[in-house]
Each structure stands twice: as C-alpha cells, then as structure tokens.
Amino acid sequence: MKRLFIAVKTEPEGDLIRMISSSKSLLGSERIKWVDPDNIHITLSFLGDTSEKRLGALSLILEEACKDFGMFEFKLTGLGVFKNIRDPRVIWVGIHPKDTLIKLGARISEGLRISGFQIEERTFNPHLTIGRINSLKEPESLKRILESYRNTEFQIVEAKEVILYESILMQSGPLYKPLGKYRL
C-alpha cells in the first residue's frame, strides 16, 4: 500500500517566500506546523492508502485526464484559514481564478470515480496550504497577518503538469515522492 495524492506542484518565489517567512517569525511562539517550501503544492485529489496493483490504472486515468487539457496560469493571492477564524486549523493562500483548477480536478475525479477509486465527496476548493495550526495563544496576531495579506498577490503560477505523489510519513515531516508526471 502507498499513501497517494494527486497535485499541481508550486515553486514558492519572491513575495510568497517573504510572506511565509514573515508569518513564521510573527507567529513563532505559536504551535503551527509550517509546510516545507519544497512540499508546497495544490492537492487535486487525496487517495490515501492505495494498492500498488492500482498504479497502472491510476497512471492511465491521469494520462487521459491531462491529455489535451492545456497549460494554464493562476495567481496565488490572499491569505485565509480553514475551519474559521475562531477555531483556525489551516493557513492557506488563495487561488485566482479557480475555475480552471476546478475543471481539472473534476476531470480527474470523474476518471477516478469511474474506475472505482474512493475519493473525497466534499467540494473541491483549490488552495495552497502553508501551515497547520495545533493551537494559538495569541489569535489576534494571526488575525492581523490575515488582514494585512487579504488582497495581496504573491505570484503567478504556470501549471504545466499534474504529479502523482506518494506521501511517506516520517518523524521529521512528510516526504513527497513523485511517482508519475502528466503533462497538461
């Protein structure tokens, strides 16, 4: 069994790196697990534990879904949280426009569903996770950071491929190993 997910890789640059560094510094005393910049990505589908026997079928699904889709661009813009501001669990960077990523995610999900893969039923909301919050002593600091970056455009990303990753959980944090790359 391999723990798998499908994603668009994002290489953090300039303003995004500076915002993450500043946020980490300002929230340094908080219990937040920051995503390693090398691991930053936009998850299109999380498959979880998957039999290695299904890798061939999975590769065919991704080839078909990505074929003729075409490269596209989107902006990384704004900062927010999931669950909500009173009980934040994830710090994310927004995506604009979202429609092309949503179409790509839907195309992949449909292929997975038809082939019998178990996929999450919740609505796909493209975002870039940069931190997971365990607890906050000073929630006002987070609120100020969110407000200061609410409308900031950090960088433009050119999506050229979809990557099938294996997530290997380690003491030092997850290791994401690419198992296949599928050109758009």
Average pLDDT over residues 75-82: 96
Element (H, E) at 3: strand 2-9
**CA 39 centroid distance within chain:** 9
Residues with Cβ within 8 Å of residue 139, at least 6 apart in sequence: 85, 88
pTM of the predicted model, to two decimals?
0.93
CA atoms of 105 and 100, how far apart (whole Å): 9
Comparing 171 with 12, the larger pLDDT belongs to 12
Q: Please report, for the chain, the start and end positions of each structural domain, with discontinuous segments joined by +.
A: 2-183
pLDDT at 111: 96
Model confidence band, residue 120 (pLDDT cutoffs 50, 70, 90): confident
- Burial (CB < 10 A; 0-12, 13-18, 19+), residue 48, is middle
Model confidence band, residue 118 (pLDDT cutoffs 50, 70, 90): confident
CATH topology of domain 2-183: Cyclic Phosphodiesterase; Chain: A, (3.90.1140)
If you average pLDDT over every residue of the chain, what do you get? Answer: 95
pLDDT at 25: 95
pLDDT at 127: 96
pLDDT at 123 over 90: no
CA atoms of 25 and 46, how far apart (whole Å): 30
pLDDT at 46: 93
pLDDT at 171: 87
Comparing 24 with 123, the larger pLDDT belongs to 24
Query: Among 98-107, 117-126, 166-175, which is the least confidently predicted range?
Result: 117-126
Which residues carry out catalysis? 41, 127
Query: Among 61-65, 70-74, 121-125, 148-152, which is the least confidently predicted range?
Result: 121-125
Percentage of the chain lying above the pLDDT 70 cut:
100
pLDDT digits (tens, 9 = 90+) for 124-179: 899 999 999 999 998 999 999 999 999 999 999 999 999 999 999 998 888 999 99
Q: In 3D, which of 79, 77, 75, 76 has the Cα closest to residue 131?
A: 79
